[in-house]
Structure 1
Amino acid sequence: MAQRRTPFGDRARYWFDSTLARGASVLVGWMALLCLAVVVPVSAVLVWTDPDAPASPADRLAQVWHLTGETLRLGGETGAPPRVVMSVLLALVTLLYVSALVGLITTALTERLNALRRGRSTVLEQGHAVVLGWSEQVFTVVSELVAANANQRHAAVAVLADRDKTLMEEALGTKVGPVGRTRLICRSGPVTDPAVLPLTSPATAGVVLVLPHDEPDADAEVVKTLLALRAALAGEKNRPPVVAAVRDDRYRLAACLAAGPGGVVLESDTITARLIVQAARRPGLSLVHQELLDFAGDEFYLVTEPALTGRPFGEALLSYRTSSVVGIVRGDAPLLNPPPDTPITPGDLLVVISRDDDTTWLDDCAELAEEPAMASGPSTPARAERVLLLGWNRRAPLIVDQLRRRARPGSVIDVVADQGEATLRQVNEADADSGTDLSLTLHHGDVTRPETLRRLDVYSYDSVIVLGRDPVPGQPSDDPDNRTLVTLLLLRQLEEATGRELPVVTELVDDRNRALAPISPGADVIISGKLIGLLLAQISQNRHLAAVFEELFSADGAGVRLRPATDYVLPGSETSFATVVAAARRRGECAIGYRSHADASTSPGYGMRVNPPKDERRRWTAEDEVVVIGRD
């Protein structure tokens, strides 16, 4: 076989690469040869072109050596060979020492910069908020904390998660946006390590929030984080209040014990199920919850009012022009919507809904109530309900339980789900305690297929609840909202074909998918992560509100309700909102707003108005609804 001749350039390049592969010593030799190949000729040119250079070649070569030595820091000594060798040896020792010193300094600086980039320095703040963990809720929590701190000059939020600091800062900067005067600090490290938690200075924090991540072991991780926090704060006398959330109620007791006496632990799945059911029974109720939970609008405040001490609670309802009184906190126990004749005692805190904490001032509005405009008939009676549940997930049994609690005889729940989503055993377990007032039936079918929905008489149901699948561990691409969006598209097609609107309540996981959902702007969408994030942020600012929200969202307590306006005022009458408040007081309720369906498509709040001024006058129609705090 004839051998192919390799070009000289390729052979030289291959030989050079092979020598470099032998190690650092060969690389140093090549660098020395390269330096000499450049420095010596240039030094010779400089000497030979110098008019003051010596005449003899030996003296000129000595000057070339001297110039080369100065350039390469080799000393440049001339004379006897031993003297030259010793000079070069000292220069090499000096070079090695300086190089090693520079290398050590460079390495130390690089490690320090990497540590700073990774977020390993201790936060030096006082009264700041500490957020432990990373999930979709972190963006809602941080956004709300920034909004709550808008009026403060020195506020800080420290986020600790087992993620890269730069990536966290970029994600928060993109989704949260400008933070104003609030300092946003990210630190990187495992939240379950007591040695890492001091990076956020929890001992000097104003509040610590623990967020569950999106994996199946989220609740166990929350408990472990709370235990790590307790270990990190061991020996501290003044511990910050702790607010955490778990998904499964089986972990709540353990989380409460780990959080300590002042800790607050929320059950996210139970709260989400309650809000879904409330919105299903009264469309539009999710708009009220959104308004009350975020810091952008009106929210709950606890205020002291000595001027009302000794007076009945009913008088307080019309004692504020721009705020709505809804209850009393006596000790640590909230009394939402107590009987109107309940006396206000010294030390009681009034639960009010107001624009800000400085907008709650007394202004008697009793004279604004107009007796002739009040309705005097009985309330609209509750009736049996038919609910269609499209899809099944871990919150579905909780939704069934909430529907069962107030079910009237003859109520029906039809479940449509794949065999992989809901088994007959799961539905039977949910139906075990349903009683005789509620019937639960499972129909197997794919809710993302048009023929499945066409077989259903969807307009025969009072409400349609669309649930997404539980995410599958190890499959990050399995977004449960994908199937939900497809189902909503098919329901939208039915609405367009019939010209009738369906009472749909949708559960979404990702808030970004709200803009993609093919539903009307004012439709009921429950985004579980966002709602829990809003609750965590509210309670972090005032932990006494935890008991208020627990009562507000409980199945049997006084909650937010939407009632027909005809239960309170005569249809067609033009009167003030104070008249509605007085009429609700007669029925043992606290009116806090209204919804005008005529303005649902044009007004910013989709017709929903929370905490309007008592002197606001409008003409009330039979389609209007009143928002009250009351019981069923």
Structure 2
Amino acid sequence: MAQPRARFGDRARYWFDSTLTRGASALVGWMALLCLAVVVPASAVLVWTDPDAPASLTDRFAQVWRLTGETLRLGGSTGTPLRATLSLLLALVALLYVSTLVGLITTALTERLTALRRGRSTVLEQGHAVVLGWSEQVFTVVGELVAANANQRRAAVAVLADRDKTAMEEALSTKVGPGGRTRLICRSGPTTDPAVIGLTSPETAGVVLVMPHDEPDADAEVVKTLLALRAALPGDAALPPVVAAVRDDRYRLAARLAAGPGGVILESDTVTARLIVQAARRPGLSLVHRELLDFAGDEFYLIAEPALAGRPFGDALLSYPTSSVVGMVRSGTPLLNPPEQTPLAPDDLLVVISRDDDTAWLGDCAELVEKGAMASGPPAPARAERVLLLGWNRRAPLMIDQLRRRARPGSSVDVVADEDEATVRQVDEADAHGGTGLALTLHHGDVTRPETLRRLDIHSYDSVIVLGRDPAPGQPPDDPDNRTLVTLLLLRQLEEATGRELPVVTELIDDRNRALAPISPGADVIISGKLVGLLMAQISQNRHLAAVFEELFSADGTGVRLRPAADYVLPGCETSFATVVAAARRRGECAIGYRSHDGPPTGPGHGVRVNPPKAERRRWTATDEVVVIGED
């Protein structure tokens, strides 16, 4: 059967398309023909309709040639064919030169703009903060640095990560907000390349922060980044102060060696495990930690006070009307809550909690103390505790170890997880060798299924800790939060069915999921990455605080505690906070605030007040709690 003959239009289009595939020469030729097809007839119309046009046909064609040349900038000389050809040749050379020059300039500008968009130019700043790496902590760190630099004239934060510069700027603008007086500078490239790190000018930086990330090789990446930082510095340049974090204790020594003597290395998993256990033992403690670590509230400062030299440390507790003294630093060693009779030396630094470094001023508050309002009874004795651990991740063994350190006889931990029993059995065997007597029991089950939780007598536990799984390779970092939210929803259903509130402590990865969690507003939620970011930001402003936080959040040392207010002042009595400070001093503690349970725990503090003025008066109730720095 004969094939139908293609139409003329289709064949013409096919031929035209075929000529275009021959390259730039065919495209230039078609453009020239198109221009001539428009310009030559239009020029002819102009000449023939001109009343002053030449009479002869030759002169009219010469006039058309001149108009065409002027329009296309290809020369318009008339005369002999040789003269017209040379004129056209010169015009083509001039056109080629101008177009090439424009192309070169356009290409150079495009490459420069592309390099700027890629973040490949060197940062020329002095005393700026350099953030190496990208993770969820970067938003917390940058946000806190912006808050800390609010009273600085020229401050800058340079962020280097192996991500698109524009994407980083948009993410920081969305999650951190306006930088105020702080300029946010993003540079793109691998943080393990010394040449790329050099773009941030680390030799002139005030501090360098290395962000951890939640990947299998995260700690090795941190160590490699620190080594690249050393290699990026000129030969005679000193290593700037470094603050970094690793997950595994096995990498801490290597990271510390790479960071140099002035570097501070945090163990993120250990710090998170300690804070979760402390919050489980005393609900509401995570709110106090957040207040102390956030630059938006009161923070720790080191101040020199020669006027108190020679006086006992106990006198300093009532010597600052608007600041709370919690310890001192002697020869670089922090002494939190030392004995009240410890004399203060002239070169000692006081560790205070204050609104700012210039708000700690001396003033005698002893006359505000009302001894008749102090409680004199002994504190309630510690008792055995029962803890329920729902879920399992890499931090779970650290939490059990923290619970074991302070376990009272008869204490127990029940673990509900779908982990292999041998994983938990290793922790149980370690506990048996430790001889602490902490009973550890594994219940195999899925904590996201209602029948698993219904089989447990949840209300018989003193605290319930909800953990998410470790993210699997290829999963989003905050994927474990999805299962955690389901477990919290089931626990909320049990609360509503029984009418009793559960003492739940929740670990989340993404701070945005806090608003989605079906829990009470004042419940303890530990955002692991955010806490580490807050610590890094605080230490970056004063690296001498690293030893203070190490002692404050240690398992066996002096830390933040919540005590019943009835142990310090008589319930129903109206008295000043100075009275509470004096009562805590008699018990060998430093009172720094309180938590009120008078009404619903609304507002950002949820009843927590850190560093109130000594002259503040209130009526203390039996449900109030006092925040102190002391031993467990």
Please indicate the TM-score interval, normalised by the length of the shorter structure. over 0.9
For residues 216 and 289 of structure 1, the distance between their equivalents in structure 2, rounded to whole angstroms, comes to 29
* Contact 1:392–1:421 (8 Å) recurs in 2: no
Q: Which residue of 2 aligns with 1:368?
A: 368
Q: Which residue of 2 aligns with 1:605?
A: 605
For residues 601 and 165 of structure 1, the distance between their equivalents in structure 2, rounded to whole angstroms, comes to 41
Distance of aligned partners of 1:478 and 1:606 in 2 relative to their CA distance in 1, 3 Å threshold = closer
1:395 deviates by 0.4
Q: Which residue of 2 aligns with 1:341?
A: 341
Deviations 1:525-571 (A, max 9, x none): 00011011111111111111111000100111100001111111122
* Contact 1:149–1:155 (8 Å) recurs in 2: yes
Distance of aligned partners of 1:328 and 1:123 in 2 relative to their CA distance in 1, 3 Å threshold = same
For residues 429 and 63 of structure 1, the distance between their equivalents in structure 2, rounded to whole angstroms, comes to 105
For residues 576 and 100 of structure 2, the distance between their equivalents in structure 1, rounded to whole angstroms, comes to 84
1:358 deviates by 1.3
Q: Which residue of 1 aligns with 2:393?
A: 393
Distance of aligned partners of 1:72 and 1:161 in 2 relative to their CA distance in 1, 3 Å threshold = same
Letter in 1 for 2:541: Q
Deviations 1:477-497 (A, max 9, x none): 870100000000000000011
Sequence identity percentage: 85
For residues 330 and 504 of structure 1, the distance between their equivalents in structure 2, rounded to whole angstroms, comes to 39
Deviations 1:301-336 (A, max 9, x none): 111111100000000000011100000011211000
State the aligned residue count.
632
Higher alpha-carbon deviation: 98-107 or 601-610: 601-610
For residues 430 and 67 of structure 2, the distance between their equivalents in structure 1, rounded to whole angstroms, comes to 92
* Contact 1:401–1:434 (8 Å) recurs in 2: no
For residues 278 and 259 of structure 1, the distance between their equivalents in structure 2, rounded to whole angstroms, comes to 30
Deviations 1:370-403 (A, max 9, x none): 1111112212111111000000000001000100
Q: Which residue of 2 aligns with 1:267?
A: 267
For residues 477 and 305 of structure 2, the distance between their equivalents in structure 1, rounded to whole angstroms, comes to 54
Q: Which residue of 2 aligns with 1:74?
A: 74
* Contact 1:595–1:609 (8 Å) recurs in 2: yes
Residue 152 (str. 1) matches residue 152 (str. 2): yes
The 3-state SS of whatever aligns with 2:194 is coil
1:204 deviates by 1.2
Q: Which residue of 2 aligns with 1:626?
A: 626
Letter in 2 for 1:270: T
Q: Which residue of 2 aligns with 1:168?
A: 168
Q: Which residue of 1 aligns with 2:38?
A: 38
For residues 68 and 420 of structure 1, the distance between their equivalents in structure 2, rounded to whole angstroms, comes to 87
* Contact 1:600–1:608 (8 Å) recurs in 2: no
1:342 deviates by 0.6
For residues 612 and 464 of structure 1, the distance between their equivalents in structure 2, rounded to whole angstroms, comes to 31
1:422 deviates by 7.7
Q: Which residue of 2 aligns with 1:246?
A: 246
Q: Which residue of 1 aligns with 2:50?
A: 50
Q: Which residue of 1 aligns with 2:555?
A: 555
For residues 71 and 88 of structure 1, the distance between their equivalents in structure 2, rounded to whole angstroms, comes to 13
For residues 30 and 163 of structure 2, the distance between their equivalents in structure 1, rounded to whole angstroms, comes to 43
The 3-state SS of whatever aligns with 2:531 is helix
* Contact 1:401–1:430 (8 Å) recurs in 2: no
1:88 deviates by 2.2
Residue 487 (str. 1) matches residue 490 (str. 2): no
Q: Which residue of 2 aligns with 1:205?
A: 205
Residue 87 (str. 1) matches residue 87 (str. 2): yes
Gaps of 5+ in 1: none
Distance of aligned partners of 1:175 and 1:489 in 2 relative to their CA distance in 1, 3 Å threshold = same
* Contact 2:239–2:260 (8 Å) recurs in 1: no
Letter in 2 for 1:411: S
* Contact 1:203–1:238 (8 Å) recurs in 2: yes
Letter in 2 for 1:394: R
1:604 deviates by 4.4
1:602 deviates by 4.1
Q: Which residue of 1 aligns with 2:575?
A: 575
Letter in 1 for 2:587: R
Distance of aligned partners of 1:514 and 1:422 in 2 relative to their CA distance in 1, 3 Å threshold = farther
Q: How does 1:101-250 map to 2 (within 5 A)?
A: 101-250=101-250
1:206 deviates by 1.1
Distance of aligned partners of 1:92 and 1:604 in 2 relative to their CA distance in 1, 3 Å threshold = closer
Deviations 1:432-491 (A, max 9, x none): 555342011111100000000000000111000000010011123870100000000000
For residues 432 and 18 of structure 1, the distance between their equivalents in structure 2, rounded to whole angstroms, comes to 83
The 3-state SS of whatever aligns with 2:439 is strand
Distance of aligned partners of 1:470 and 1:340 in 2 relative to their CA distance in 1, 3 Å threshold = same
TM-score, with length taken from structure 2? 0.97
Residue 523 (str. 1) matches residue 520 (str. 2): no
The 3-state SS of whatever aligns with 1:597 is coil
Letter in 2 for 1:561: R
For residues 90 and 621 of structure 2, the distance between their equivalents in structure 1, rounded to whole angstroms, comes to 100
Letter in 1 for 2:342: T
1:612 deviates by 0.9
Q: Which residue of 1 aligns with 2:615?
A: 615
Deviations 1:69-111 (A, max 9, x none): 2222222232222332233223222222222222111111100
Deviations 1:584-619 (A, max 9, x none): 111110011111112343454211111111111112
For residues 31 and 287 of structure 2, the distance between their equivalents in structure 1, rounded to whole angstroms, comes to 72
Q: Which residue of 1 aligns with 2:447?
A: 447
For residues 427 and 487 of structure 1, the distance between their equivalents in structure 2, rounded to whole angstroms, comes to 24
The 3-state SS of whatever aligns with 1:19 is helix
Q: Which residue of 2 aligns with 1:595?
A: 595
* Contact 1:421–1:469 (8 Å) recurs in 2: no
Distance of aligned partners of 1:175 and 1:602 in 2 relative to their CA distance in 1, 3 Å threshold = closer
Deviations 1:278-309 (A, max 9, x none): 00000000000000001111110111111100
For residues 361 and 490 of structure 2, the distance between their equivalents in structure 1, rounded to whole angstroms, comes to 50
For residues 166 and 79 of structure 2, the distance between their equivalents in structure 1, rounded to whole angstroms, comes to 59
Deviations 1:508-529 (A, max 9, x none): 0000000000001110000011
Letter in 1 for 2:337: N
1:236 deviates by 3.7
RMSD of the TM alignment (CA)?
A: 1.6
Letter in 1 for 2:153: R
Deviations 1:96-148 (A, max 9, x none): 22222221111111000100111111111111111111111111111101111
* Contact 1:472–1:478 (8 Å) recurs in 2: no
Residue 403 (str. 1) matches residue 423 (str. 2): no
For residues 156 and 534 of structure 1, the distance between their equivalents in structure 2, rounded to whole angstroms, comes to 18
Gaps of 5+ in 2: none
* Contact 1:150–1:181 (8 Å) recurs in 2: yes
Higher alpha-carbon deviation: 157-166 or 425-434: 425-434
* Contact 1:522–1:600 (8 Å) recurs in 2: no
Deviations 1:168-199 (A, max 9, x none): 11000000112111111111111111111121
The 3-state SS of whatever aligns with 2:598 is helix
* Contact 1:450–1:490 (8 Å) recurs in 2: yes
TM-score, with length taken from structure 1? 0.97
Letter in 2 for 1:598: D
* Contact 1:564–1:624 (8 Å) recurs in 2: yes
Distance of aligned partners of 1:429 and 1:168 in 2 relative to their CA distance in 1, 3 Å threshold = farther
Higher alpha-carbon deviation: 527-536 or 614-623: 614-623
For residues 405 and 147 of structure 1, the distance between their equivalents in structure 2, rounded to whole angstroms, comes to 37
For residues 181 and 477 of structure 1, the distance between their equivalents in structure 2, rounded to whole angstroms, comes to 32
The 3-state SS of whatever aligns with 1:598 is coil
* Contact 2:317–2:581 (8 Å) recurs in 1: yes
For residues 421 and 178 of structure 2, the distance between their equivalents in structure 1, rounded to whole angstroms, comes to 41
For residues 617 and 247 of structure 2, the distance between their equivalents in structure 1, rounded to whole angstroms, comes to 44
Deviations 1:49-80 (A, max 9, x none): 22222111111111111221222222223222
Distance of aligned partners of 1:421 and 1:594 in 2 relative to their CA distance in 1, 3 Å threshold = farther
Q: Which residue of 2 aligns with 1:538?
A: 538
The 3-state SS of whatever aligns with 1:123 is coil
For residues 212 and 447 of structure 1, the distance between their equivalents in structure 2, rounded to whole angstroms, comes to 29
Distance of aligned partners of 1:423 and 1:239 in 2 relative to their CA distance in 1, 3 Å threshold = closer
